[in-house]
Structure 1
Amino acid sequence: MSVDYQIYDLGNLTLQRGATIRDCKLAYKTYGQLNAARDNVIVYPTWYSGQHYDNEWLIGPGRALDPAKYFIIIPNMLGNGLSSSPSNTPEPYNGPRFPQVTAYDNVRAQHRLVTEKFGIKHIRLVVGWSMGALQTFHWGALYPDMMDLLAPFCGSAKCSRHNFVFLEGVKAALTADAAWKEGWYTDKPARGLRAAARVYAGWGFSQAFYREQLDIKTLGYSSLEDFLVAFWEGFFLPKDPNNLLTMLWTWQHGDISDNEIYDGDFKAALRAIKAKAYVMPGQTDLYFPPEDSAFEVENMPNAKLVPVPSIWGHFAGGPGTNPVDVDFIDTKLKELLAS
């Protein structure tokens, strides 16, 4: 099977919570060419369960992320099935024994890829949706002098308590399946995956999205049940449950201040972000409401709040589901890159 990505060998990666991933692998894909000055770099991390090709909707000729102008690096999150994950790590750290990975661990690993592999010292823009936004904020707080611009959209710098509770529902649904077997499943826990999909369905899109029946009128599903089965269950069924739970833990424990630099002082971590930032919450996002983004922007020295005017909820930000929202985000990224 041919693959369209590269692997960077990180060796033994010691994690924030104390475990070590031996022979740790970071999967990544690049688009465009690194210029002679090595300063046309955009880093674009992946999101919950997404892989690099799930990010490609924002890249293309004439787009803000144009490979003719920029060298775009998409690093795959640890746990996403391509980088080191429960599904591809040998014993004894396989399956449910795969260690707890933080967003801090992910961004430290990505920083090594950028600096060691490519010799890059300066980044033009870090951008990401959802958990990609979480990593974008981490880049800004952990390496404040390294980039000019940040554009986290439909995400947060710290997992809110409400967001944590939503994810508990997803976790409970996944692990309630008898086939789950505490993560040592031999057959796919399909009932758990389908149940998790149903939990997700009430949160991924907004109340207004469902009220306006956009699942039928715009996305073309034949009924609400058709949407729940074809779109949502179809989205979750191919995914590995242990991978999903690893990334879910990463999401729940996302916090740019949870490290030795900021020692839990969230406002100090936000204040340390020097890059010019467009923080773009979805106007109707049920995971990451604009109020949370407003708090972040108030505490960042060089940030602007740019809500995405959409009733598509969290999916206003991806993965390319609504062309109108794609164009809005793309236009704002062009504006930011031109500044």
Structure 2
Amino acid sequence: MPSITPPSTEGILYYTLPTFTFHSGATFPNITIAYRSFGTPTSPHKILIPTCYGSRINTTLTFTSPIPTPHGPRPAALSTHHVIVAAMLGNGESASPSTTPSFPLRLDYRDCVRAHHSLLTQHLGISHLDAVVGFSMGAQQAYYWACIFPAFATSIIPICGSARTSPHNWAFLEGPKAALVNSADYADGKYKDRGVKPLRGLHAFGRAYCAWAMSAAWFRQRLWGEVEGGLGLRHWRSL
């Protein structure tokens, strides 16, 4: 069976918070934040882009790459800005259940925002942002930036994100989640302590999520052959 290419780690840097207190009240040592700079790092114009659900740093749209046109490449909107893409807690690049022993079961957007604020101020020496730009869950983090640190960013630019998760969205998310956490190899979240990966749970999660992630038209056009290296539908929907 074809394998899936692991996420790129090119250019990713890490900053470790010696101690971090989560919104739940739990305090943990050595919470790592993954990030990468794009665009023009020497620019005084700073943009933060937190990752969204399912995204990694190097798959996040940064608005810094030249845009191809019939008349040649055109500069991107943020090519002259310093764009920092920071991985949200729990995404597998920053501190997550898969990388951090006894990682808190309850994670809050406020945790992600406060961790990224520490990255910017304590490590990168940034005291002000031109904007926080986010897509989906990244957009929801942008809303929280405006609430928690209202003077830190001149603007927030939420893209395809709600200020509050709707009851319907909650219900949808709980379905695939139940498929994962009730699997035998998930072991009530203690899978890493047992030295295993919850592959059965992850496959069940992917099977439950696949029809939500893509549209009916996507399936009718058999577009699964254009993703994940052209794998067949049976393999794709089990991811």
Normalising by structure 1, we get a TM-score of 0.58
Q: Given the alignment of the two structures, is residue 202 of structure 1 paired with residue 211 of structure 2, yes or no?
A: yes
Find the counterpart in structure 2 of residue 334 from structure 1: none
- Contact 2:10/2:58, CA 8 A, preserved across alignment: no
Normalising by structure 2, we get a TM-score of 0.80
Q: Given the alignment of the two structures, is residue 171 of structure 1 paired with residue 177 of structure 2, yes or no?
A: yes
Report how far residue 177 of structure 1 moved: 2.1
Q: What CA RMSD, in Å, does the superposition of the two structures yield over aligned residues? A: 2.6
Find the counterpart in structure 2 of residue 19 from structure 1: 26
CA distance in 1, matches of 2:109, 2:164: 10
Q: Given the alignment of the two structures, is residue 43 of structure 1 paired with residue 48 of structure 2, yes or no?
A: yes
Instruction: Describe the SS at the equivalent of 1:168.
Output: helix
Report how far residue 205 of structure 1 moved: 2.4
Return the structure number with greater helix share.
1
Report how far residue 74 of structure 1 moved: 0.7
CA distance in 2, matches of 1:188, 1:25: 21
CA distance in 1, matches of 2:233, 2:113: 35
Find the counterpart in structure 2 of residue 187 from structure 1: 196
Instruction: Describe the SS at the equivalent of 2:50.
Output: coil
Q: Which amino acid aligns with 2:76?
A: R
Q: Which amino acid aligns with 2:51?
A: T
Report how far residue 229 of structure 1 moved: 2.7
Q: How does 1:74-223 map to 2 (within 5 A)?
A: 74-90=85-101, 93-94=102-103, 98-185=104-191, 186-210=195-219, 213-216=220-223, 220=226
Return the structure number with greater strand share.
2
Structure 2 unaligned regions, length at least 5? 1-8, 67-74
- Give the direction of change, closer, same or farther, for the CA distance of 1:65–1:175 in structure 2 (3 Å limit): same
Find the counterpart in structure 2 of residue 70 from structure 1: 81
Q: Which amino acid aligns with 2:146?
A: G
Report how far residue 28 of structure 1 moved: 0.8
CA distance in 2, matches of 1:197, 1:189: 12
CA distance in 1, matches of 2:130, 2:225: 35
Q: Which amino acid aligns with 2:148?
A: L
Report how far residue 58 of structure 1 moved: 4.4
- Contact 1:21/1:99, CA 8 A, preserved across alignment: no
Structure 1 unaligned regions, length at least 5? 235-339
- Give the direction of change, closer, same or farther, for the CA distance of 1:11–1:54 in structure 2 (3 Å limit): same
| Percent of residue pairs identical | 36
- Give the direction of change, closer, same or farther, for the CA distance of 1:53–1:19 in structure 2 (3 Å limit): same
CA distance in 2, matches of 1:137, 1:89: 27
Find the counterpart in structure 2 of residue 54 from structure 1: 59
Instruction: Describe the SS at the equivalent of 1:44.
Output: strand
CA distance in 2, matches of 1:162, 1:108: 28
- Give the direction of change, closer, same or farther, for the CA distance of 1:180–1:116 in structure 2 (3 Å limit): closer
How many residue pairs align between the two structures? Answer: 218
